[in-house]
Amino acid sequence: MSMPLTSLPSPSPSFHSRRLPSEAVRRVLAAGEVPPGRSGRPLRLRAEASFPKCGTTWLKALAFATRNRAEHPPRGLDHPLLRRNPHDIVQYLELQFAQSMGHVVAALPSPRILATHLPHSLLPRRITAEDSGCRIVYVCRDPKDAFISSWFFTKKTVVAVAARAQAGEEPPPYTFVEAFELFCDGICVSGPQWQHVLSYWEASRRQPEKVLFLRYEEMLRNPASNVKKLAEFMGCAFSGEEEAAGVVHDIVELCSLESLKNMDVNKSGSHGPLAHESFFRKGVAGDWSNHITPAMAERLDKIVEDALQGSGLTFDVAAERSA
């Protein structure tokens, strides 16, 4: 399928040594305006970070449900996730400031929960500094699945944006293969996916108390274990009584991709120009094998392997565990 070329992220001059689209640069500059904590106190923030289409929606739901389980029990019939899309509950840091909505962030109760697609190196120092009181949870995903998920999401995005655009001359189309070439060249809205992952991997090695590095594939295999890890890192570990009562299981069930996908609120409505349902597809690992050729997979794997050389990071989890 072909899509309008104008829907692709256009490359811009490098920013802090990273090639980002001009719109992304604007959001980086805007995110630098993040306010301090109330009364001049250190900012307390729980940031959910990811490259686009790498588990963002799922992580938002899990983080919110875990952090707010006392006020909103996961079995509650009026739970916010039953009424609102995760993207309406947990806002993007860079979008809030790009839209001059910093006062909304400042008014949120502490610790605030926000999300970001920015690379770690481009986050405001108010967030990354040792004394900031902020913690970052990052989820990474196999680059091949990240590309496939981005491709399908972009198709939905193009349809949504085109429906709102004024009638005019149709822009030239681009194909699946062209999109793959751009992804391999690192021309993405948040820069090269593997560099994005690497920036948080290195940060988690330097500051394990401030950056938690999760893997999408491991979250799928063992969601309960990862939810407990998430809760402990955010400073709201589950008590023995909660675990015995099945609270961890309840959060996993409430926030499962299948559950979120089938909620009425996510079958209708929209987040900006995008229908809520566009944020959900298969939510599985390894779907790339149904869409790209072995040669394409080998090429992307080689690009990523070369980029991560010497970092200790690999997308072969089994090999990494034995290293």
β-pairing, 45-50 with 112-116?
parallel
Phi, psi angle pair for 116, to nearest 5°: -155, 150
> Is residue 273 helix, strand or coil?
coil
Residue (of 174, 124, 168, 146) closest to 10 by Cα position: 174
Q: Which residues contact residue 316 at a Cβ distance below 8 angstroms, ignoring those fewer than 6 apart?
A: none
Q: Write out the catalytic residue numbers.
A: 117
> What amino acid is encoded at 292 in this protein?
I
pLDDT cut 70: percent of the chain above it: 68
Q: What is the pLDDT of residue 157?
A: 64
Q: Are 88 and 113 in contact (CB under 8 A)?
A: no
Mean pLDDT across 89-116 = 65
> Is residue 215 helix, strand or coil?
strand
> Is residue 228 helix, strand or coil?
helix
Decide which of 1.10.340.30, 3.90.1150.200, 3.40.50.300, 3.40.50.1240 is the CATH code for 3-322. Answer: 3.40.50.300
| DSSP classification of residue 33 | T
Q: Are 63 and 229 in contact (CB under 8 A)?
A: no
Q: Are 65 and 74 in contact (CB under 8 A)?
A: yes
Q: pLDDT category, 194, cuts 50, 70, 90?
A: very high
In the predicted model, what is the mean pLDDT of the chain? 78
Q: pLDDT tens for residues 15-41? A: 344 444 445 444 544 444 444 444 444
Residue (of 49, 24, 191, 35) closest to 116 by Cα position: 49
pLDDT tops 60 at residue 13: no
Of 34-43, 87-96, 120-129, 268-277, give the lowest mean pLDDT range.
Answer: 34-43
Q: pLDDT category, 92, cuts 50, 70, 90?
A: confident
Q: pLDDT tens for residues 306-323? A: 999 999 998 864 444 444
> Is residue 161 helix, strand or coil?
helix
pLDDT cut 90: percent of the chain above it: 44
Phi-psi region at 36: left, alpha or beta (left = phi > 0; alpha = psi -120 to 50): beta
Q: pLDDT tens for residues 245-299? A: 999 999 999 999 889 888 888 877 666 666 656 566 777 888 999 999 999 999 9
> What amino acid is encoded at 304 in this protein?
V
Q: Which residues contact residue 4 at a Cβ distance below 8 angstroms, ignoring those fewer than 6 apart?
A: 158, 162, 170, 171, 172, 173, 174
Residue (of 205, 208, 181) closest to 303 by Cα position: 181
